Structure 1
């Protein structure tokens, strides 16, 4: 496993981070033995960054992660989130953030998390997020409940505002550096570099669009994006290559981010993601796929409040 510095935090993180949404059953049922085994497999592969949220199974992912990492806390970097607690349940008030963090710490079996981020901020008014909610993050950091603070979201416009209107250590962006979309490169990384804010990358397979199984989460994706994904899949099939593996290679090796968050409970998928960090990319195949999807590289779907897109 390759390790990289997560911006100004100084944290040495694995190029592949483990996303715990599947541990909470977000993409389908996951039993306890499978969840615990998957975390151990990730540790054995050299993954040291684990990203969670109370939203993932209403705390189930955090609980299982805490159980799996019991006795290993000093060996890993733990990140979790606050503000989103259900599909349509958002509460970024200071009191709810604090209550949520205290519960997360209990479930994770730790006194602190390394990274605490506000989750999917585009679904609410950003004035409150950048005001009272951000202030609560700072207080929790000052109290030692977390070491570094950040925010997550899909619209790059929202993340750019988060970086410029607050003082964050890190942001998490998803589905913006994939075989279908490369907006991260010009749309977020320059402002993040300017403000010394680290960027975590996620959703290398574009919420499942770049997998054999297809879209895993209901998002308002355009017909053009779906068609581009189908073209990419057809090219990969013709070359006998798993499109998900190529997608992971591209995101992990070319995004410019220290780490890319991969979520799975399937051993084959985890092994593929780990190999993707170092396995040489078939450049001719990549060029063919990117040419076939070029028309949508700057196209995003809309999510959250219209004003935040």
Structure 2
């Protein structure tokens, strides 16, 4: 597994990072076991967020005593200086550390700058001067905001979705980061679960010399799969490239990434799964998506209010109500046996 340096941060880690969002769904003991195994297996970059319920607390429990041997990135969704300072102190306490390697503005809609009137970037500078954070980063889902953050020269890392399903515009963003000597932290390397071949996903990332992917891990067997690549990294060879091209053709067009930023829905629709059900039911064991619970969830699409809230919040500017209805019609045809999956 090759190592990557995240731009001007100087942080050099294996190109195989740990995304700690999913561990909020398991017990403390399970999470600690997974995190320690990840470190023992060679992973040294761990990404979490204040918004991920008890994820930070689990990292703090797992890495107490070995903090200096790894890198932790976390995030704040604060939108005021007061919230910023409160969330930073909470993160430091839960992580059981006196510094954070990369502190990121979480899912920003604007590029915070000094003197913009918000005081937010000034908070980052103050925290850095105090030694509470070491590097300033931003995470974004909107391409134009991400580009602005990169061009501003104010951030050392950008976290943005990247997978072999990414568009040419998104790939140009990776190149822009490289040109600006800015680290790129790749989230959603499995496209929210649509990509189910970890070998191909990992091999794809290997072509970038400024990208550290963070793989969302919830189960030990998933982790072992990623750790197996530490000493036997998949190559982006002709066979893998052919597979990726086939995948791109199958998943061509607009699709929901499952990020969940459109939620909650006033009609109670689980948009982040229902809007991509046609793909999920074909790319995963279908029985799990065709049970009574999911039939009830999909039926809620009939109650869509067409309020437009989901469209306004979608970072990919998708026509979500239309996607929901298309997926529901396809789902009903599958249930009726008119379509075989």
The TM-score with structure 2 as length reference comes to 0.69
> RCO (CA 8 Å, sep 6+): is it higher in 1 or 2?
1
Query: 2: CA distance between counterparts of 1:292 and 1:41?
Result: 32
Distance verdict in 2 for CA 1:292–1:260, change over 3 Å: closer
Residues 208-287 of structure 1 aligned to structure 2 (within 5 Å): 208-211=193-196, 243-251=197-205, 253-276=206-229, 278-281=233-236, 283-287=238-242
2:183 equivalent among 198, 203, 215:
198
Give yes or no for contact 1:246–1:276 (8 Å, CA) kept in 2: no
Counting matched residue pairs gives: 259
Query: 2: CA distance between counterparts of 1:44 and 1:168?
Result: 31
Give yes or no for contact 2:178–2:210 (8 Å, CA) kept in 1: no
Cα deviation, residue 191, structure 1: 2.5
Cα deviation, residue 48, structure 1: 0.7
Query: 2: CA distance between counterparts of 1:298 and 1:165?
Result: 31
1:65 equivalent among 59, 65, 87:
59
Query: 2: CA distance between counterparts of 1:147 and 1:7?
Result: 13
Can you give the 5+ residue segments of structure 2 that lack an aligned partner in the other structure? 263-311, 317-341
Query: 2: CA distance between counterparts of 1:4 and 1:289?
Result: 23
Residues 119-130 of structure 1 aligned to structure 2 (within 5 Å): 119-122=106-109, 126=110
Give yes or no for contact 1:249–1:276 (8 Å, CA) kept in 2: no
2:248 is the counterpart of 1:293: yes
What is the CA deviation profile of residues 63-107 of structure 1, one whole-angstrom value per residue up to 9, with x for unaligned ones?
010010000011011111111xxxxxxx31111111100000000
Query: 2: CA distance between counterparts of 1:8 and 1:184?
Result: 24
The TM-score with structure 1 as length reference comes to 0.75
Greater Cα radius of gyration, structure 1 or 2: 2
2:24 is the counterpart of 1:39: no
Describe the SS at the equivalent of 2:75: strand
Describe the SS at the equivalent of 1:13: strand
- How much is the aligned-residue C-alpha RMSD, in angstroms? 2.6
Give yes or no for contact 2:111–2:149 (8 Å, CA) kept in 1: no
Partner of 1:75: 69
Query: 1: CA distance between counterparts of 2:154 and 2:111?
Result: 15
Cα deviation, residue 263, structure 1: 1.6
